[in-house]
Amino acid sequence: MLSLLDIAATAATVIVLAFIFDSWRRKASHLPPGPPGLPILGNLLQIPTTMQYIAFQDLGNIYGDITTLRVPGMTFMILNSRKAIFDLFDSRSSIYSDRPHLVMGTELIGWEGAIVLSNNTPRFRNCRKLLRKGLGPSAVQSFVPFLNRQCASYLRDLLERPYDFTDIFRRNAAAISMKIAYGYDGITEDEEVHDLALRGNLYFIETTVIGVWLVDMLPILRYVPQWFPLAYFQRYAARARPFIRKCVNKPFEETKRHMEAGTAGASFTSMLLQHAQGDPEVEDCIKYSAIGILLGQIDTTIATLSWFFMAMALYPEVQAKAQAEIDKVVGNERLPKIEDKDSLPYVFAVMKEVFRWQPPVKLVPHAVSKDDDYRGYFIPAKTTLIANVWAITHDENVYHDADKFIPERFSEEGAPDCLDDAFGYGRRGCPGILIAQANVFVSMATTLATFDITKARDSRGNVIGPKVEDTPGAINGPLPFKVSVQPRSETAVDLIKRSVEQSKTMSERLEVFSLDE
């Protein structure tokens, strides 16, 4: 028989639980507005499988710049204005710097150590410090001669097989990132590592998109065995997991081996390992930071340069204006360099407009670590918030005729700089932003100096206009398209050949650099 004390304790517990539930229910009723959904499915059927950023922008026009959506197992919010994004991701970065937990990309496939997927933990902050040290201004100065030199090889490949420009972007980006991360002297030094990087990058992109994998929405499914009929994700993970481990470990261990043999050049990994003093936690941070550099640059660079090629074919007057600036400032006796950026404001504006017109990462997810209130709305802990970069770079109140490619908005009209939007927010901003911008600028400038990019023609001479359509996923490049890439003149061909020969006389190794604090 229950005593009066037991009854009183039970009653008190029920009252407390009811109070907590009622308090949470009232808070939940103050979530930002959003479209009504269906039982169980929520808003799942209202989210398209492609170009979600446009659908999210349309919802923002109806429900406001913070929109709540629900799918099975997840509630998330879309941020469609620069103010909301900066208020939360920048001003409140101490609690808005987590990532959504992706079971597929971390626990199952093996990217659990990846910095880009980590929450705002002490390990994450330590890794970010290492990235700032190894990719800071001092390091960039060491990388600039290599980036300038690498352009000659890039242009040679473009001259030899202009139809294959996407693969040229891919291999050039891989060569640069492998050099910076590990000091590899070109991808021909180890074709296996190059293949590891490209395949590892593909696995990363396929498994880190929110809402694609059922196991991310219903984490309990991670315990389902491989043989179960619906466990396709387990079978995918079983194939990918050993490969991911090799992708993370092989280039790192190779760099350590070269260091021990005294044959390692300067790189992010080698410079930081010299100061690690054998600390396993620091070495683990260096290892995952290095693979982040390797994978983080490849597809974003491919996407950006592909959009650039498409823009030049679609807007020949922009291309001609940029080429005229290069001809006047640089001439035709040498290639443009990174150091010419301040003297080429229109070319720099072209680069900005590429990032605004088609940002390679259009949706940027963060998660909040604890309950918060914003503008009177309740934002529960663990909520995923997605910055709609597309929405803010296509805000007609800021960028008129936003769907058109108009570099003059930056070079003449004083439009707000959009590069900060393209490279992330708050504590999760891209640590390699200085290198990425330098590489993209010099790639665009040297291309403009030596090639004409125009619309392709079919076998009957009919013009084939590229369609402005992008690939789904975490990184959004254009769907495959064709353009004509032809050298501007014989003088341009001679310049490319002379630059290639000159590059052979330059050291392939990066200069030793000091680590920024």
Q: Which residues are annotated as a binding site?
A: 430
| Structure confidence at residue 15 as a pLDDT band (50, 70, 90) | very low
State residue 25's pLDDT score: 44
- CA-based nearest residue to 92, from 386, 373, 363, 391: 373
418-444 pLDDT per residue, tens? 888 899 899 999 888 999 999 999 999
Q: List, in sequence order, the alpha helices (H) in 109-189.
A: 122-134, 137-160, 165-182
Strand partners, 69: 76
Question: Which range in 81-90, 110-119, 133-142, 232-241 is most confidently predicted, on average pLDDT?
Answer: 81-90
177-194 pLDDT per residue, tens? 988 999 876 444 557 777
Percent of the chain's residues with pLDDT above 70: 91
The chain-wide mean pLDDT, for the chain, equals 88
Evaluate whether 101 touches 484 at the Cβ level (below 8 Å): no
CATH class of 34-503: mainly alpha
- Strand residue runs (E) in 345-383: 363-367, 372-374, 377-379
- CA-based nearest residue to 270, from 185, 393, 356, 193: 185
CA distance 62 to 36: 12
Average pLDDT over residues 167-171: 92
Is the pLDDT score of 21 beyond 70? no
| Structure confidence at residue 514 as a pLDDT band (50, 70, 90) | low
What are phi and psi for residue 470, nearest 5 degrees? -115, 165
| Structure confidence at residue 11 as a pLDDT band (50, 70, 90) | very low
Q: Which residues are annotated as a binding site for heme?
A: 430
CA distance 61 to 449: 42
Largest Cα–Cα separation, the chain: 101
41-57 pLDDT per residue, tens? 898 888 888 889 999 99
Average pLDDT over residues 158-164: 95
Strand partners, 385: 77, 366
Evaluate whether 491 touches 122 at the Cβ level (below 8 Å): no
Burial 198-230 (b: 16+ CB within 10 A, else e): bebbebbbbbbbbbbbbbbbeeebbebeeeeee
